[in-house]
Structure 1
Amino acid sequence: MKTATSPPHRATLIALTGLSVLTLNMILPALSSIARDLQADYALVSVAVAGYLALSAGVVLIAGPLSDRIGRRPVVLGATALFVASSIACSLADHVWMFLLFRMLQAVMVACGTVAMAVVRDTSSPKESARILAYIAMAMALAPMLGPVIGGIIDTAFGWRAVFWFYAVAGVGIFALSWFDLGETLDKSKAQTSSSLQKVTTLISERRFWAFAICSAFSVGAFFTFLTGVPLVAETAFGVTSAETGFFIGSITVGFMLGSFLSGRIGPRYHLTTMMLAGRITAFSGLLFGFTALTLGWVSPYVFFGSTVFVGIGNGLTLPNANAGVMSVRDGVSGTAAGLQSALMSAVGAVLTMLAGIMIARWAEPQVLIGLMLIIASVALAAAIWSRRLETAHDAAEKPA
């Protein structure tokens, strides 16, 4: 059987990252059905989401360095095969603990998203990587919106087990696509021969890595904070329905798609940190306007969501460039860098989500949520400025005297 020997097409990279997102949120509408069918507490079944998220952070920490050692292709094929097997096992589970065990194994799929980022960096320059990642992100923004819709339709029509058969079939398709289209992109001549621990130690000693990673983690953190607090704020402060809240939440995703499109179109003309700063200033300015307007008494869902949409636009401008930057700090460790960055995003997102939940439960006011997002956006802006200074100094040192 003929296998791929060349870099993958963009559609393959989108498919790899897309399935990892769908694996998280497509089962959300089916949680009640799972709990009822397996005669388990809903709280216990919800571990299928929380536990998946927790294990994802560990998976990317392993997958990134492993792909730097043995190659991108074996990690993707191995993770996809295990994902297919665990999906079939979930569909056949007759006890909640068996279901949760194999559901946790499904988390291996997130490795494909991390490796896909490394593949982009393997095959293109930092600026070109940012452009490609921007277009992938634009397509990927649809996955969080479509996942629950598809899952709900399948659960209603065929039952919750069919959701996992869908996963299994999709996994087989991704495996076949990767087998025929994903050639090995790791340049063994540039790959570092040091141990995974040494690679991690090397990266975390680099200030440039931390500047890029902190910027991206807190950029995404502002979005997670928004998602956590907005349902209660929208209901309490604005009196909007759940359907209207869903529509308004979608506006930030549309903003992200717009920002990603702009990043892909104009990003290659500018330095990575220039685009990062543009994104951070956009997000900060929008939130500052919203906070000021709400404080002055202009309390309206259109003011609130009109300001938060700039977080989506700003993230679309920032994240592709920050992702490309974090993987360009050191040659030969782009997989490790992508894994570390993903783990940091998960950790920061978890802490900020918990903080937002506590604060909004006590003060369900739009000013409180916007203010918290503004503080988080300030950290991301400061990290972008720090990154700009470090990159300027690095570029100056690289120039011949």
Structure 2
Amino acid sequence: MVLLVPVVLACLSMVGPFSIDTPFPAFPDMQRDLDVGHDQLQLVVSAYLAAFAAMSVLHGPLSDALGRRPVMLVSLAVFGVASVGCAVAPDLATLLVFRALQGLSAGGATIVSRTVIRDVFDGPMAQKLMSRVSVIFGIAPAIGPIIGGLLLQVGDWPLIFVFHAALGVVLAALVVVLLPETHPRERRVPLRVGDVVGGLLLVGRRAGFQRLAWSTALIFGAQFLYIGGAAIFVVDVLGEGELDFWKLFVPMIGAMMLGSWICGRAAGRITARRLVSVGCSIAFAGGVTAVLVAATPVATDLPWAVVGLSVIALGNGMTYPTLQLLMLDEFPERRGAVMSLSSFLALLLNAVTAVAVVPVVGSSALGFAVTALVLVGAGQLCWAWHCALGDRDCAVGDAPEGREPVDLL
């Protein structure tokens, strides 16, 4: 179980990010074949993210009521059908419809899979396994554009979405064969609209959850700024080609994987609070570095252009697994709802970033860097606020019953 769960869950959690950026190298071909402008084609990203965010609030509560496996299997089946629809789409409007359907279904694997670890494991073991999942999960954004570029060497852009469909079939088979049901019937909640909505409201009303969720979303949002705007940053800002996306993604994701590895090694050795605080500080230092580099003549020269981003990703890798566990421990009986609502907030931020922020700041490396620094700084402030209130509650003996303050793990 310990050996299989991280691999299977990491593969499932890869569906979301992998589906976002695999088509990036095909944007010039898609723009030509669909006869649309670059700004219109950016909707291929934002439609997926908006749909993912909208449905993300339901995947977790559904898994709390029906079990983890059924939700993941149905979602993967729909994802496969939607991918085929994208492959045969004759125009942009049809492509966007099926791309949105991809987004609606991808969360069943990406979101629900993360609850399984906390269903089964506690304490340092949960942190170690969550960090291992994050390491493997981090590969997806790096290999997505690379695989997309390689597929373009043997076929046209619809082949990328055929590959998505095949991925859905393979992952469904892995769930059936290797992943047990970790949420037994006696622990499930009723499948009623009132219970689903009530559970989400219960989670969303807790201030501690909001602080942790926004800290996670904002710090990762600084990294996603470059992921969602990769087609602009790599091609327009850096002047690279369709096979050069690896120059952005490999160092960024490599740094995030290193941070996740550090997080796993730190489990049981230092508190969650100290680990997250150090990670936040490293990410902020990366944001400052990115701005300083972007203000120099080497702003668009590699590798300097991605040094600051890589440091942000290192800090994010150290904080992300632990922050997720801290959120899940806010509501042990509503883990699916916790994961859904936190994912919704992050995806909503990412969708706004992709559709509204990237087109505005994406004209220069400095625009990307300043925006990333603002996001990281805001995330660090949310974490500092959470720590300060945790200290206050601890001092007055006012921590919520059954939970320690921040340094839980």
Identify whether the pair has TM-score above 0.5, normalized to the shorter chain: yes
What TM-score bracket applies, with the shorter chain setting the length? 0.7 to 0.9
Partner of 1:153: 150
1:47 has 2:43 as partner: yes
Match of 2:14 among 8, 13, 18: 18
Q: Which residue of 1 aligns with 2:163?
A: 166
Note if contact 2:305-2:365 (Cα within 8 Å) is conserved in structure 1. Answer: no
The range that moved more, 16-25 or 172-181, is: 16-25
Change (3 A) 1:273 1:162: same
How far apart in 2 are the matches of 1:372 and 1:26?
24
Residues 241, 28 of structure 1: alpha-carbon distance in 2 compared, 3 angstrom cutoff: closer
On the 8 A contact 2:75/2:108 being kept in 1, the answer is yes
Q: Is the 8 A contact 2:208 2:386 kept in 1?
A: yes
| Closer, same or farther: CA 170–28 of 1 in aligned 2, 3 Å | same
State the Cα deviation string for residues 20-53 of structure 1 (Å, max 9, x = none). 322222233334545655x553565653332111
- Tell me what 2:331 maps to: 330
Shift of 1:141: 1.7
Is the 2:49–2:351 Cα contact (8 Å) retained in structure 1? Answer: no
Amino acid at match of 2:71: V
Listed as ranges, the matches of 1:71-220 within 5 Å are 71-94=67-90, 97-107=93-103, 108-193=105-190, 195-220=195-220
Q: 1:268 is paired with a residue of what secondary structure?
A: coil
Q: Alpha-carbon deviation of 1:117?
A: 0.7
1:6 is displaced (CA, Å) by 11
Deviates more, 1:244-253 or 1:7-16: 244-253
Shift of 1:165: 2.8
What is the CA–CA distance in structure 2 between the aligned matches of 1:294 and 1:19, rounded to whole Å? 32
What CA deviation, in whole Å up to 9, does each residue of 1:319-357 have, x standing for no partner?
111111111111221111111111111222234453354
CA shift for structure 1 position 16: 0.9
Cα deviation, residue 63, structure 1: 0.7
Deviation at 1:227, TM superposition (A): 4.9
Task: Give, in whole Å, the separation in 1 of the partners of 2:234 and 2:79.
Answer: 37
Kindly tell me the number of residue pairs found equivalent between the two proteins. 390
Q: Distance in 2 between matches of 1:304 and 1:113?
A: 30
Is the contact between residue 267 and residue 275 of structure 1 (CA under 8 Å) also seen in structure 2?
no
Over 3 Å counting, the alpha-carbon distance change for 1:369 and 1:52 in structure 2 is closer
User: How many Å separate the matches in 1 of 2:235 and 2:179?
Assistant: 47
1:6 touches 1:182 (CA, 8 Å); kept in 2?
no
Distance in 1, matches of 2:136 and 2:337, equals 24
Structure 2 contact 25–231 (Cα < 8 Å) conserved? no
1:6·1:183 contact (CA, 8 Å) conserved in 2?
no
Shift of residue 360 of structure 1?
Answer: 5.0
Structure 1: how far apart are the matches of 2:123 and 2:185? 19
Q: Following the alignment from structure 2 to structure 1, what is the Cα–Cα distance between the partners of residues 386 and 124? A: 15
Deviates more, 1:57-66 or 1:26-35: 26-35
Q: Which SS does the other structure have where 1:186 is aligned? A: coil
CA contact (8 A) 2:259 2:318 kept: yes
What's the TM-score, normalizing by structure 2? 0.82
* Contact 2:145-2:245 within 8 A present in 1 as well: no
Q: Give the match for residue 340 of structure 1.
A: 341
Q: Does the C-alpha gap of structure 1 residues 274 and 189 become closer, same or farther in structure 2, counting only changes over 3 Å? A: farther
SS class of match (1:276): helix
The answer to whether the Cα contact below 8 Å between 2:141 and 2:253 also exists between their aligned partners in 1 is no
- Per-residue CA shift, 1:259-288, capped at 9, x if unaligned? 111011113323322221110011123333
What does residue 24 of structure 2 align with? 28
**C-alpha distance 241-112 of structure 1, shift in aligned 2 (>3 A):** closer
Q: What is the alpha-carbon distance in structure 2 between the residues aligned to residue 95 and residue 325 of structure 1?
A: 44
Kindly indicate whether the alpha-carbon contact (under 8 Å) linking 2:59 and 2:112 is maintained by their aligned counterparts in 1: yes
How much has 1:245 moved relative to structure 2? 8.0
Aligned sequence identity (%): 23
CA contact (8 A) 1:7 1:182 kept: no
Alignment correspondent of 1:280 = 280
Describe the SS at the equivalent of 1:183.
coil
**TM-score (normalised: structure 1):** 0.84
Corresponding residue for 2:407?
A: none
**Residue in 1 that maps onto 2:65:** 69
Structure 1 vs Structure 2 CA RMSD: 3.4
- Kept in 2, the 8 Å contact 1:130–1:321? The answer is yes
Equivalent runs, 1:282-301 vs 2, <5 Å? 282-288=282-288, 291=291
**Corresponding position of 1:257:** 257
- In structure 2, the residue matched to 1:376 is 375
Secondary structure of the structure 2 residue equivalent to 1:261: helix
Query: Which residue does the alignment assign to 1:355?
Result: 357
Shift of 1:317: 0.5
Contact 2:45 2:228 in 1 (8 A): no
Q: What is the distance in 1 between the residues matched to 2:235 and 2:30?
A: 28
Aligned partner of 1:106: which letter? Answer: Q
User: Aligned equivalents of 1:246 and 1:6: distance in 2?
Assistant: 32
Match of 2:339, SS state, is helix
User: One-letter code of the match for 1:308?
Assistant: L
- Which has the larger displacement, 146-155 or 112-121? 146-155
Pick closer, same or farther for the CA change 1:205–1:168 going to 2, 3 Å: same
